[in-house]
Structure 1
Amino acid sequence: MSRRPGLLAGVVLAALMCALGAYLYVKAVPYQETVDHGPSPEARANPYLAAEHFLRKQGINVEHVNNLGVLPNLEPHQRSLLLLGERTNMTPREVDQLMNWTRAGGRLLFVAEALWDDSTGSSGDLLLDRVRLRQLLSEDLKEPPAELIKDRYPKLTKLYLEDEEAPAYIGFDTDFHLEDPHNLAQAWANSELATHMMQLTLGLGSIIVITDAELWKNEHIDQYDNAWLLWYLSADTDVTLLFNTDHDNLLTLLLRYFPQALVALLALIALWLWRSAVRHGPLQQPAPKARRQLEEHLQASAGFHLRHNGQQQLLQTLQQDVLRRARHLHPGFEQLVVAEQWQVLARLTRQPTRAISQALSPRPKQRMSRAEFCRQVAHLQTLRNAL
């Protein structure tokens, strides 16, 4: 009898679960949701990744390089070189190499990077100045009369082709304008007020100058006829894309991505320098404040005079002291000749004349040995003490 209530509760619970499942099955409506995680790492690293994929789908071979070091090995025949990166560090030698490569049959496309400066007669863009084109701001151009403006799409650049009724519409940045003061361009594309693309012939090859390459980046290449223009300019050739020529150095990358690690490293270096500066062993005790003995003062004074005045000065001082005492004991001593003075000193000191002669005679200028100097001082002191 005790099992029937438990069994009944289990049956009721199973029935409720079946009823809930049936209700959810009838009411629930399946749907799909797409979560946009943004550009892939490859697209973030390569702003022209979509352009490369597009050209490959058109059967064009595409390669991506980061510098002009590949130019000597790049066959110019049926080859398009697209310079889409920064060229601020380009050298005159590299410009000459590009010009020679184009004359040999290459197709060169590059972006004008600097504005023309009338005061200097150049733009600072070596490649743009070499092809003798100029880039100006569109706002500096004179606007045509309003009655002559009939453009339906003034912000789009139009490229007209033969046997085509309508132009191709391209999304160039209309803030810039290309000027051809020497009438060198053979083809061009304009917006309402400005020119944004020019093509010139150089030897067996051609040069294409554009005001910007933003229209071929991943986020813009699918707009208007931007992708078609890229294919049109590089048709029947292999394509080499060159950008990211200026790479960040290691310090810049570390500051950008690992600032905390750099701070920690600097702190460790500072601690190491502080630790290395600590003295090892006991500190030297300060000198006692008690006065030195008179003998120490005399020795220090004598050592000072010997170092600064030399041996001759000390000996002359002793000799003059002996003569001064002799003049005091024997009136008229200074008027006697040297030999007579030595005889007087021999009588006063009871020393032989030879010893007095050796003590008072002038010494040679060369430095005496320590033993000889001590003997000479001892003889003089003996004479002085005897007077």
Structure 2
Amino acid sequence: MTRTIWAILALLLILVLGGSGYYLYRHATPYQELVDHGPSPEALANPYLAAEMFLRERGLKVEHANSLEALADLPPKGHSLLMLEERSNMSPQQADRVLDWARAGGHLVFVAQALWDEDTEQSGDLLLDRVQIHQMLSEDLEEPPEPEAGDAYPKLTKVHVDGEQAPAYVSFDTAFHLDDPDSLAQSWASSGAATHLIQLEYGKGSVTVLTDADIWKTPAIGRYDNAWLLWYLNVDTTVTLLFNTDHPSLWQLLWKNFPQALVALGLLIGLWLWQAAARHGPLLEPPPKARRQLLEHLRASADFILRHGGQGPLLHALQVDIRRRARRRHPGFEQLQPEAQWEVLALLSQQPVSAIRQALQPLAGQRLSSTDFSHQVAHLQTLRNAL
């Protein structure tokens, strides 16, 4: 291609690119798009992350604890301990330690996690039973709380504060109710269906019982006055969030996640112990590992045929094998007369015709002596091996 053609192509390319750029400049409109990548790993690992951030923004110090060992270094006065997660592994000694800490001046906040059983007169929730508060289903209440006159939000829990005309509204789960049979509560908060928060003095400290803590998880903490209630209960204190009262043991985790495998393992161990256990009476000797050789099998088979069929089948089998080998060496062997066959076999085996005649003669019903039978078999084998 000449330089002129290259120049024309370059000019056309510049014109196309320039025209495209001008078109995009006149018609393209820049915009911003917000892409939601979902919760961060920290938020997924900690459902109360937003609650912690809210408290820190209000000037409160927030700490974490993964076991009750933290109580040893946690002074009661000026501290709040929030137990909002599962604590079914808590022992009676641990429950006493927590309540002793509250009695010494700390503020304990926990969620009721079991229903009151009238028959056993306990719920199984160690903390709830010790502070003598009962939890039950709202639908089982004989006399539910009377709704306030003109209440526009009967499903929301109303928290009244001294000096405030309007209550704060909190979205507790209305399916559960807290009962104070001994009238120990200093304050409480109820919806139109049930009571969901009870606060009572406990020695030098205080205890707050809730029906649920989902109001402080994401995104519920941003609704109504849920976040305000968290701040109001813990104002002027250092907050410690206790996520686990005790880590389950390895066996507990295995039983929780792999119960079938553990049952199967137990059965296998039981069967092994039964098989290895001592038996009554002598043990049977194991069968010998030695096996007969091939020659022994052949001899045993020949003895069986000799006993049940006589000498004829054995000799006939050798004679048939000789004729089969002769047909391979000499095509048309089976059409020859017996004398001619004997001559062919003599030629192929380099043996005299008389020996071949004697070897191939049928027994005609007579029984040979052991010596003669052995000689006959030897002649036939020698003839067969020569072919």
**TM-score calculated relative to the size of structure 2:** 0.63
Measure, in 2, the Cα distance between the counterparts of 1:255 and 1:210.
Answer: 31
Secondary structure class of the residue paired with 1:38: coil
Report percent identity of matched pairs.
Answer: 56
Task: Work out the number of aligned pairs and report it.
Answer: 266
Matches within 5 A, 1:87-106: 87-106=87-106
- In the alignment, the residues of structure 2 paired with residue 132 and residue 285 of structure 1 have an alpha-carbon distance, to the nearest angstrom, of 80
How far 1:241 moved relative to its partner? 0.3
Which runs of structure 2 are paired with 1:225-264 in the superposition (5 Å)?
Answer: 225-245=225-245, 247=247
* Cα distance in structure 2, aligned partners of 1:225 and 1:76: 28
Whether the aligned pair in 2 keeps the contact of 1:143 and 1:193 (CA below 8 Å) is no
Q: Which residue of 2 aligns with 1:38?
A: 38
- Give the match's secondary structure for 1:206: strand
User: How far did residue 193 of structure 1 move?
Assistant: 1.9
Q: Is the aligned partner of 1:177 residue 2:177?
A: yes
Deviations 1:29-77, CA, capped at 9 Å, x for gaps? 1111122111111111111111111111111111111111111221001
Q: What SS is found at the alignment partner of 1:200?
A: strand
**1:5 corresponding residue in structure 2:** 5
Deviation at 1:151, TM superposition (A): 1.9
In structure 2, C-alpha distance between the alignment counterparts of 1:68 and 1:100, rounded to whole Å = 13
Structure 1 partner of 2:328? none
The answer to whether the aligner puts 1:163 opposite 2:163 as a matched pair is: yes
Mean Cα deviation higher: 236-245 or 186-195: 236-245
* Long gaps (5+) in structure 2: 266-287, 298-387
After superposition, the Cα gap between the structure-2 partners of 1:247 and 1:101, relative to the gap in structure 1 and judged at 3 Å, is closer
Q: 1:251 to 1:3 in 2, by over 3 A?
A: farther
Equivalent-residue separation in structure 2 for 1:52 and 1:254 (angstroms)? 33
**Distance (whole Å) between structure 2 residues aligned to residue 15 and residue 252 of structure 1:** 75
Q: Which amino acid aligns with 1:211?
A: T
**Is contact 1:86–1:246 with CA below 8 Å preserved after alignment?**
no
> What is the CA-CA distance between 1:146 and the residue it aligns to?
9.4
Q: How many angstroms apart in 1 are the aligned matches of 2:145 and 2:215?
A: 29
Query: What code does the residue aligned with 1:99 have?
Result: L
Q: What does 1:300-339 correspond to in 2, within 5 Å?
A: none
Cα distance, 1:242 vs structure 2: 0.6
Aligned to 1:54: 54
Cα gap change, 1:63/1:149 in structure 2, threshold over 3 Å: closer, same or farther? same
Does the residue aligned with 1:99 lie in a helix, a strand or coil?
helix
Deviations 1:168-206 (A, max 9, x none): 011111110000111000101110120000000011100
Structure 1 stretch displaced more, 238-247 or 183-192? 238-247
> 3-state SS of the aligned residue for 1:9?
helix
Partner of 1:23: 23
Contact persistence 1:170–1:225 (CA under 8 A): yes
User: Hey, what's the Cα distance between the residues in 1 that align with 2:21 and 2:234?
Assistant: 61
Q: What is the match of residue 189 of structure 1?
A: 189
Match of 2:348 in 1: none
CA distance in 2, matches of 1:253, 1:89: 12
Alpha-carbon deviation of 1:218? Answer: 2.1
Q: TM-score, normalised by structure 1?
A: 0.63
Q: Distance in 1 between matches of 2:4 and 2:16?
A: 18
Distance 2:253 2:111 in 1: 27
Distance 2:246 2:25 in 1: 60
Structure-2 separation of matches of 1:253 and 1:129: 27
Question: Which residue identity lines up with residue 46 of structure 1 in the other structure?
Answer: N
Tell me the residue number matched to 1:374: none
Change (3 A) 1:112 1:255: closer
Counterpart of 2:21, as a letter, is G
Q: 1:94 to 1:252 in 2, by over 3 A?
A: closer
C-alpha distance in structure 1 between counterparts of 2:177 and 2:171, whole Å:
14
Q: Which residue of 2 aligns with 1:209?
A: 209
Structure 1: gaps of 5 or more residues:
267-282, 291-387
- Matched residue SS, 1:221: helix
TM-superposed deviation, 1:86: 1.0
Kindly indicate whether the alpha-carbon contact (under 8 Å) linking 2:68 and 2:246 is maintained by their aligned counterparts in 1.
Answer: no
Which SS does the other structure have where 2:221 is aligned? Answer: coil
Asked whether 1:284 is paired with 2:307, we answer no
Secondary structure, aligned partner of 2:63:
strand
1:251-310 CA-partner distances (Å, limit 9, x unpaired): 8989999xxxx9xxx9xxxxxxxxxxxxxxxx93148999xxxxxxxxxxxxxxxxxxxx
More divergent stretch after superposition (150-159 vs 229-238): 150-159
Matched residue type, 1:24: L
The residue matched to 2:17 in structure 1 has which SS?
helix
Judged with a 3 Å threshold, the aligned counterparts in structure 2 of structure 1 residues 180 and 52 are, in CA distance, closer, same or farther, namely: same
Specify whether residues 48 and 146 from structure 1 end up closer, same or farther in structure 2 by C-alpha distance, changes over 3 A only. Answer: closer
Deviation at 1:250, TM superposition (A): 6.2
C-alpha change, 1:5 and 1:141, in structure 2 (3 Å) is: same
Q: 1:207/1:236 Cα in 2 relative to 1: closer, same or farther (>3 Å)?
A: same
Other structure's SS at 2:220 match? coil
Distance 2:145 2:289 in 1: 94
Q: Tell me how far apart the structure 1 counterparts of residues 254 and 34 of structure 2 sit (CA, whole Å).
A: 36
Structure-2 separation of matches of 1:212 and 1:229: 13
Q: SS where residue 189 of structure 1 aligns?
A: strand
Asked if structure 1 preserves the Cα contact closer than 8 Å seen for 2:48 and 2:216, the reply is yes
Say if 2:68 is the partner of 1:68: yes
Give 1:35's aligned amino acid. Answer: V
**2:19 partner SS:** helix
Task: Return the alpha-carbon distance in structure 1 between the equivalents of residues 89 and 149 of structure 2.
Answer: 41
**One-letter code aligned to 1:182:** D
Pair 29,143 (structure 1): closer, same or farther in 2 beyond 3 Å: farther
The change in CA–CA distance for 1:151 and 1:123 in structure 2 (over 3 A counts) is: same
Deviation at 1:147, TM superposition (A): 9.3
Q: Which residue of 2 aligns with 1:379?
A: none
- The 3 A distance-change label for structure 1 pair 146 and 238 is closer
> 2:102–2:203: 8 Å Cα contact kept in structure 1?
yes
